Homo-oligomer: A and B are copies of this chain.
Amino acid sequence: MQGVDDWLAELGSAAPTPGGGAAAAMTAAIAAGLVEMVANLTTGRPRYAQYEADTARILARAAALRTEAVGLAEADAAAFGGVMAAYRLPREDPGRAEAVRVATIAAAEPPLRIAAVANEVAGLAAELPGRSNRTVLSDVAVAASTAAAAIESAAINVEINLAGLPEADRAPLAERLTAATTRLAPARDLAAHLRAELAG
């Protein structure tokens, strides 16, 4: 667990990155990994043969989203560095305000994509109950709960960028964020529903 320990220690440190954006990305990656695991424990089993095409699609997509999420943790750090660099320009620099604006718009992109990734993971998780290995249904519930937190966490990181932007820049990003967070409430509901079912 050395590499995981090291990353978590960096998260906890006073270093500006990784921060909340990278945390959202890792949370999304955990949710994707759980969906992938459930698909891996379903594929090829005779009892679920009728869902095999869906299982294979969910498996491949969850694995791709897991990998993408890890990359987004690094992209978030890089974009945050850009904002910091713009703020460090001399206050008398006539290009400073525009540099901050452009860097802030750019910094909204990684968390927007993290939200979209987590949103898609939540959608994949919602396909699994009834069609996947019943012995790991609790992992579907955990995946849904975790994906919901990743969506919310990413949204928070988009919104703090939006708060500093002029309305004209903000509106299109806010619209994209709305589209990338549609599954927050459904994922929470799915987790709660499965939890109640499993607790018997």
Contacts and interface: CB of A to CB of B under 8 A. Distances in A.
Contacts of A149: 27, 145-146, 148-149
Contacts of A37: 11-14, 19
Nearest to A161: B138
A120 interface: no
Contacts of A4: 3-4, 7, 26, 70
Interface string A142-172: 1101101100110111011011000000000
A23 B12 contact: no
A32 interface: yes
A24 B1 CA distance: 15
B40 A11 contact: no
Given A7-B1, A11-B30, A199-B162, A145 B156 contact: yes
A126 interface: no
Contacts of A5: 3, 67, 70
A29 B8 contact: yes
Interface in A63-84: 63, 66-67, 70, 73-74
Interface string A16-33: 000110011011011011
18 contacts: A1-B7, A1-B73, A4-B4, A4-B26, A4-B70, A8-B70, A11-B34, A12-B36, A12-B40, A12-B63, A13-B36, A20-B139, A20-B141, A23-B33, A23-B146, A26-B30, A138-B157, A145-B153
Interface of A: 1-9, 11-14, 19-20, 23-24, 26-27, 29-30, 32-34, 36-37, 40-41, 62-63, 66-67, 70, 73-74, 136, 138-139, 141-143, 145-146, 148-149, 152-153, 155-157, 159-160, 162-163, 191, 194-195, 198-200
The 6 closest A-B pairs by CB, nearest first: A3-B3, A149-B149, A12-B36, A11-B33, A20-B142, A14-B40
